[in-house]
Amino acid sequence: MDIDLTKPLDIRIVQRILPHRYPFLLVDRILEVEPGVRIKGIKNVTVNEPFFNGHFPENPIMPGVLQLEMMAQISGISLLLCPEYEGRLALLAAIDKARFRRPVVPGDVLLVDAEVTKMRGPMGWVKCVATVEGKVVCEAEIVFALSTQDRELGA
């Protein structure tokens, strides 16, 4: 993939890497990346997000499971930018040590810092921390299985 990694990656480049699309694409920009090592990305949380209609109408809070998905999408980009994994899917295999520290609400800018801690064949382990204005809102260790596009799951 011909991408200049010395500059932030905008949404058009993110969409070249990830198969996700609205309303499930939860990445707005990648600020920094060292493929297979670390990544820093953001999600701008707006009141227009469809999940806020029901979670909760009078007190909108971003669901924790979507915070984890957002961290997984950002982390997955770091792995998918490695030449040996180009064109694969980063499938969520496990989540460990997930902790939610503060609510995430419309207007927040979620900043995710993720570090790849281990690679073993097509499996990757990533430690993620999401912050809003410097305060930790969510953290987790995420495990990925890097599959080929035919999904290697009986397709």
In Å, what is the CA distance from 51 to each residue of 29, 31, 55, 65, 106? 21, 26, 6, 11, 11
Mean pLDDT over 96-109 rounds to: 98
- Examine the pLDDT at 151 and tell me if it is beyond 80: no
Q: For residue range 28-60, what is the model confidence (pLDDT) as tens digits?
A: 999 999 999 999 999 999 999 999 999 998 999
- Examine the pLDDT at 3 and tell me if it is beyond 70: yes
Residue 55 annotated as catalytic: yes
* 3-class SS string, 121-149: CCEEEEEEEEEECCEEEEEEEEEEEEECC
Catalytic residue among 55, 93, 95, 98, which?
55
As a CATH number, domain 11-147 is 3.10.129.10
Residue reference for tokens 């915070």: 67
- Examine the pLDDT at 125 and tell me if it is beyond 70: yes
pLDDT reported for residue 153: 47
pLDDT bucket at 148, cuts 50 / 70 / 90: confident
Domain boundaries, the chain: 11-147
Whether this prediction's pTM lies above 0.85 is answered by yes
